[in-house]
Each structure stands twice: as structure tokens, then as C-alpha cells.
Amino acid sequence: MNDFKEISPYEDAEVQGVIRKLKANKAFHYKFSYFFFPKIVSLLPFLGRLLFRFKFNKYFGSSKTIKDFQENISPFFIDMIKSSTDGFTVSGEENLTDKPTLFIGNHRDIALDAAFLNYTLFSKDFKTARIAIGDNLLDGDFAEDLMRLNKSFVVHRSITGIKEAYKKLHRLSTYIQKSICEDKESVWIAQRQGRASDGNDVTDVAVLKMLYLSSKKTLTLEEWLRAVNLTPVVISYEYDPLDIIKAKSSEGDTKALDIERDINELIKGVRENKGRVHLHICKPLVNELTSLEQISKEIDLSIQSNYKLWPTNYFAVNELSKTYSKYKSIIKKSMDMQNLSLFVERFKDLDKPALGTVFKAYARPVLNKKESEHQGPDS
């Protein structure tokens, strides 16, 4: 139970070896050359790969530690913010401390949800968090290497058999507890398995059961909450680069899940326009909570009440109100309608069911926030 090698991020001693491995990985060069040099690759693929290999070696060849790697990747993240967003903002920064923390966040994008949190921590001179990722992203190749260099650890999703499930969940729970309480490393984990394709940010109690599993014999829930400094975080994107893909998936128009598709969606999420992006750091949960179900509800309340709403969310509500009466009471009369013509244009090829699915996903945070207002929002 103390061997976490299979699921843990790389350690400093492994960094140089992994960098050398990536420098020699032609599949890695091929995939990412499209990202950095699309025009060159379309004409001369070989040249594009050479240019990317040179670029990777220039910026990451000297990395000797995980901290080095993250410091070297930060300029690329800043460039991504400049090129694919209309601005990134943060609130609730007063809730950040040096105390190792279990961050539980809503999940909209494969890689960026945790990345925006880590960028915020990095820019404020706090240690970055270890990131929980599903084993669906583990390809045994460059994607896995990149994520484990970036402090990602593995959450097994497809587990068969009760004994095997308990063994892996207990090991994961132990690893997370060890990260926070012994290694003094914060952790980010999503509030549910998989992205909230329907826009409904709700916490799966099963995630909390896993987190508490290794501590339930030694710590009360109140003691555990204090030990891990459980802090909800909420990310909101004005535009979801994968909204159409998620809508078609919800309608059943999708192929079987595979690593190649997940990696392509990861890159698409990073590369394409997200509009404005906002991250809110909620207050740690310090209330007297006596059950995991109560903790789940408190996380939901924190996330839903602090979700930053955009004109796209209210536009979706307005469109749905023409068909569904439950949306009519929450339309804002003074909506900022700037640039929404571009928002509508992106859905011009969708059929009516898929369009309805898209609008429901954008509208759901408005419904959730309205409901949370009656329960006493966190800040």
C-alpha cells in the first residue's frame, strides 16, 4: 500500500531522463508541431517536426527538476491566455495560504481547470498542486510523460472486482492524504468523474468516500476536513471550445472513447477561443459537517454560488425561455449582448436537439446560482 510508483507524478531524479525521452519521441513532435507551426506543417511536415524539436529542447532541455519544468512551461501558459482568451481573472485569493490544501473543483476542460489554478498559485509564489487525472489519458507515451512531469497523478476509472476496486481506491486515498499531510503538497481533484458536459456542477459523494477512505478509522470528518484544508474552487469559461463536441456526445453522436480522441480534445481545449475565464477560490470548509453528504452539498453550494456568469449563459437562458417556462423567471433584462453573434454563429450547423443540449449546458449554471441564492452563498 506504500508503493505509489504506478500512480504518482515523476520525481526530480526522473526529469532529465523523461526530457531526453521526449526529445527523441517522433510522435510527440508530430502531434505538437501542428499546434505551434500549423502553416509550416501543412506544407513541410518534416520541417515542422524539426522546428518543434528545436523549440522543445531550447525551452525544456535544461530542466532538472519538476519546478524547473513548470517554470519553463509558464511562458507558454501566459501566451495561451493571451492568444485564446479575452482575459483571465481570479477572485477569492485571500483564501489561499501556505497550508497544503485539498482543492476540489468543478470540471469543464481536460487540462485547463487545474492548470489555471496552478498558474494562479505559481504567480502568487505558492507551491503548485498535484493534479488528479483519469487513467483514460494514460497512453504510455508522450501525453503521460508530459502530465506526470506537470505533477499529475493517476485516478483509475475502469476497475473490475470489489477487492481490486477497494485496493486501488484505498491506495489512491492514502496517496492523496500522504501528499497533503506528509509531503506538504496540495492536491487538485475534480468534484466528479469526467467533465460536466451538461453544465451541472455537482459533487459525486463517491469521490468524497474515496478521499476519506484511508482516514476514516483514525480521524473524524471534522478532523479530516481540518487536516486537508478542503477548499472548493470554481472555474468558468465564457465559451467552451468543446461545447459542440459535448453536445453531440450527449446526443449519442460519438465514437467509443479512446486516448487519441482525448488528447485531440485536450489540445483543442488549450488552443481554441475560450472568451473570458474566471477562477474563484472559495473559503475552506470549516463548518461542523457530520456526513459526506453534507460536505457534498457544501461543496456544491460554494461552487454554484460563486460561478462567474457570462452573457453566453444568459443568452442561452433567453433562448430556452421561448420553449421552457422554467427559464422565463430568470432572464436578465440588461444583458451584455456584445459579440454574441459570433457565439450563435458557431452553432449554425447543429440540428435542433443538439442546439438545445448546448443551450441547456450554458444555462444550467444560471439555474444553479439562482437556487444557491436561497441557501446562503459562500465567498
Residue 137 scores a pLDDT above 80 = no
Q: What per-residue confidence (pLDDT) applies to 342?
A: 79
More confident residue, 287 or 339: 287
Instruction: Identify whether the C-beta of residue 67 lies closer than 8 Å to the C-beta of residue 122.
Output: no
pLDDT band at 327 (very low <50, low <70, confident <90, very high): confident
CA distance 125 to 181: 20
Return the domain boundaries, the chain.
Answer: 65-305, 311-372
Lowest pLDDT segment from 13-17, 232-236, 249-253:
249-253
Handedness of CA 70, 71, 76, 78 (dihedral sign): positive
Average the pLDDT over 314-342 and give the result: 73
| Domain 65-305 bears CATH identifier 3.40.1130 | yes
CA distance 196 to 304: 13
Confidence of residue 1 (pLDDT cuts 50, 70, 90): very low
Model confidence at 141: pLDDT above 60 = yes
Give per-residue pLDDT as tens, 241-273.
Answer: 999 998 887 655 444 457 778 888 888 899 899
The arithmetic mean of pLDDT across residues 85-104, rounded, is 97
> Which of the four pLDDT bands, split at 50, 70 and 90, describes residue 47?
very high
Res. 135 pLDDT band, cuts 50 70 90: confident
Tens digits of residue pLDDT in 293-306: 999 999 999 999 99
pLDDT for residue 247: 86
Question: Which residue in 236, 234, 242, 239 sits closest to 266, CA to CA?
Answer: 242
Give me the torsion for CA of 179, 208, 305, 370, rounded to 10°. 160
Longest dimension (CA), the chain: 62
